[in-house]
Amino acid sequence: MTSPTIPDSLIRSLREAQHVVVLTGAGISAESGIPTFRDAQTGLWAQYDPEDLATPQAFRRNPQLVWEWYRWRRSLVEKASPNAAHRALVHMEQKAPRLTIVTQNVDGLHKQAGSSEVLELHGNIMRARCSVENASVDSPDRGGSDDELPHCPTCGALLRPDVVWFGEPLPTEALNAATAAIGACDLLLCVGTSGLVHPAASLPLLAVERGAITAEINPQKTPLSQWMDYELRAPAGAVLPPLVAHTWPDLAGDEALP
């Protein structure tokens, strides 16, 4: 993978930043083998219709189909490991006075890598929650066969994946914390998100309004690009490890960094 040139001024800003926020999307997990949503050909929405799989109406119509699809996506997540980009953010957290990851991903790979301040805006695919009472449940499939639908251990109603579907609000606590972090940060990195799904896609504007330094790491341009001070057009795994290594040269001997 060839790394793009990383501007010295971005390296200096990152070294001096007191609070760094990294907004991530499906692109950061692409190099772990988890498909994105909107990449042409390989993206999930190129093959599946979200109306059939990722709305409350779809779940009411056909919970079996929805669970089948989420079980398949869970199996991809279970096989995946954090990649060099996730690991670079763990190193960044060790060096930056404060680092918050705001993620739209439901795969849990940031936490698995070892990042500690991770705000999951769209839930977590490994959890389920009661479709009536909303209480979260871990490992809801334990003991169930593939055809069996999981039920709430408390009230017996159907469990649903603990993710945000189209038309649903984001978890209030995570959204409030993300809004506060981005509105108070001095450097924002937008990594691997198409910037098309709101409210997550509106959050970077809070950093822009505040005058924070902003950078996008994505092989493609997005609607966010116009607001960014820096655009690094390459995969996250080719940018984040050298960005961290150049910013904090004492980390360069680490196996996760080039």
Residues recognised as catalytic: 122
| Residue whose C-alpha is closest to residue 120's, from 132, 142, 136 | 136
Interatomic CA distance for residues 105 and 114, integer angstroms:
15
In angstroms, what is the minimal distance from the CB of 50 to ligand OAD? 6
Interatomic CA distance for residues 65 and 91, integer angstroms:
40
- Stretch 161-220 residues interacting with ligand OAD (CB under 6 A): 164, 192-194, 196-197, 217-220
- Stretch 7-66 residues interacting with ligand OAD (CB under 6 A): 25-27, 30-31, 36-39, 43, 54
Nearer to ligand OAD, 18 or 221 (CB): 221
Instruction: Say which residue the tokens 């994505």 belong to.
Output: 218
* Residue of closest CB approach to ligand OAD: 27
Nearer to ligand OAD, 145 or 172 (CB): 172
Using CB under 6 A as the binding rule, whether residue 224 contacts ligand OAD is answered as no
In angstroms, what is the minimal distance from the CB of 57 to ligand OAD? 14
> Hey, what are 45's tokens?
């929405």
User: 3-state SS string over 47-93?
Assistant: HCCHHHHCCHHHHHHCHHHHHHHHHHHHHHHHHCCCCHHHHHHHHHH
Residue 158 DSSP label = B
Interatomic CA distance for residues 125 and 10, integer angstroms:
34
Nearer to ligand OAD, 71 or 151 (CB): 71
Nearer to ligand OAD, 153 or 170 (CB): 170
Binding residues for ligand OAD, per CB under 6 A?
A: 25-27, 30-31, 36-39, 43, 54, 104, 122, 164, 192-194, 196-197, 217-220, 222, 235-236
